[in-house]
Amino acid sequence: MQGHGFATNVICGAAIVLAFTVTAPAQNNRSFVATTGNDANNCSASAYCRTFAAALAVTNPGGEIVEVNSGGYGPATITQPVVITAVGVDASITATSGNGLTINTAGNVTITGLNLHGGGTGSVGVEVQAVGFLRLYSMQIENFVNYGVDFPAGGNLAIYDSKINDCGGAGLNVRNAAAKAYVHNTAFDNDNIAGALANDGGMLAIADSSRALQS
Amino acid sequence: MALYSDAVLFNTTGMDADGNGVPTFSGQLSFADCLVSNSTNSYVNAGTVAGSNPGTTLITPGQSSGGLLSPAIGLQ
């Protein structure tokens, strides 16, 4: 019996180790956020999180965050390569102070379908401190005090099928000699200084777009 | 900056290449097949602002400008 008891203890010990392994924080290849979510969840398809910030914390570099339903998901700082997808829903970030999104990663970031609102007091819609290649598809960025998209970093930027308006600085400011930016099918209007600026040697090409009613 | 098939409407300045005061960068702007209309200044050129030749850009009359357009860029 003693032998049996020893064996049982070994098995229990193994089970405890296994339990600790299983309950370690999950890192998802794909995370989900919804207005019905909770940031205490693991952001899986069956246990949504509430905010981008929580989802980013449990998403693998190069993974994806999916917006499940329409609503606001809060400002966030992105420090890893990631794909954020909001297709078929009205997913927004309202930033009445600070930036809507701050990006600081050497990797690539792709964002589709997000609406960023500054409420006339938020600083910048998308502040790019560092990035490999930032792709913004079907975005609406509006009403920030400074810029819709500020790109003081080197790296590449592509904006497709978007609207950037009512920003106090410029809709887009590319201001690094190592930056290459391309804009396609995008409308800039009523941004205070200019629709799109290429400063400090930054390279910017715009096609099939419009810039109207800038002061 | 390069513009292609771009509509530039109702701005204070439609196209601007002023270099932003950066010594190592004189503003350069090239454009083709654009519409530039109803702005106070169609363009301000303190560096290079050049259209394509041939090209179909229309800069409508009635707008002021700062400087002159740079020589058009012929197709290579």
pLDDT band at A25 (very low <50, low <70, confident <90, very high): low
Question: Is residue A57 assigned to a domain?
Answer: no
pLDDT of residue A26: 56
Domain count, chain A: 1
- The residue whose two tokens read 């020893």 is A6
Asked if residue A81 has a cis previous peptide bond (ω within 30° of 0), the answer is: no
User: Considering the domain boundaries, does residue A153 fall inside one?
Assistant: yes
For residue A47, give both structure tokens: 């246990």
Output the pLDDT for position B45: 87
How confident is residue A192, by pLDDT bands cut at 50, 70 and 90?
confident
Instruction: Note whether residue A45 is domain-resident.
Output: no
pLDDT tens-digit series, residues A169-191: 999 999 999 999 999 999 999 99
Q: Can you give the pLDDT at residue B19? A: 55
Would you say residue A22 lies in a domain? no
CB-based contact A175:A147 (threshold 8 Å): no
How far apart, in Å, do the first and last CA atoms of chain A sit? Answer: 89
What are the tens digits of pLDDT across the range A44-72?
999 999 999 999 999 999 999 999 999 99
In a domain, A50, yes or no: no
- For residue A97, being part of any structural domain is answered with yes
Contact B16 A214 (CB under 8 A): no
H or E element: which one contains A15?
Answer: helix A2-22
Measured CB to CB, residues of chain A less than 8 Å from chain B are 177, 194-201, 203-215
Contact residues, chain B to chain A, C-beta under 8 Å = 1-14, 16, 20, 22, 24-25, 27
Tens of pLDDT along chain B (76 residues) come to 899 999 999 998 888 876 554 444 457 899 999 999 999 999 988 889 999 999 899 999 999 998 899 999 998 7
Average pLDDT, chain A: 90
Tell me the domain boundaries of chain B.
2-64
Parent domain of A186: 70-212
Query: CA–CA separation, A193 vs A166, rounded Å?
Result: 10
Per-residue pLDDT tens over the stretch A107-153: 999 999 999 999 999 999 999 999 999 999 999 999 999 999 999 99
CB atoms within 10 A of CB A99: 25
Cβ-nearest to A214 among B7, B12, B25:
B12
Taking CB atoms and an 8 Å cutoff, what residues of chain B touch A200? 20, 22, 25
- CB pair distance less than 8 Å for A210 and B4: no
Alpha carbon distance A86, A35 (integer Å): 13
Interchain proximity A177–B25, CB inside 8 Å? yes
Q: Is A33 left (phi over 0), alpha (psi -120 to 50) or beta?
A: beta
Task: List the strands of the sheet with B41-45, edge to edge.
Answer: B13-17, B41-45, B64-66
Question: Considering the entire predicted model, what is its pTM?
Answer: 0.88
Mean pLDDT of A159-168: 97
Which token pair is A113? 């379908």
Shortest Cα distance, chain A CAs vs residue B54, angstroms: 18
Residue A13 lies in a domain: no
ipTM of this model? 0.89
Strands annotated E in B1-76: 2-4, 7-9, 13-17, 28-32, 35-37, 41-45, 48-53, 58-59, 64-66, 73-74
* B6 with A198: Cβ contact below 8 A: no
DSSP letters along A165-188, please? E--SSEEEEE--TTEEEEEES-EE
Residues of A with CB below 8 A from B12's CB? Answer: 214-215
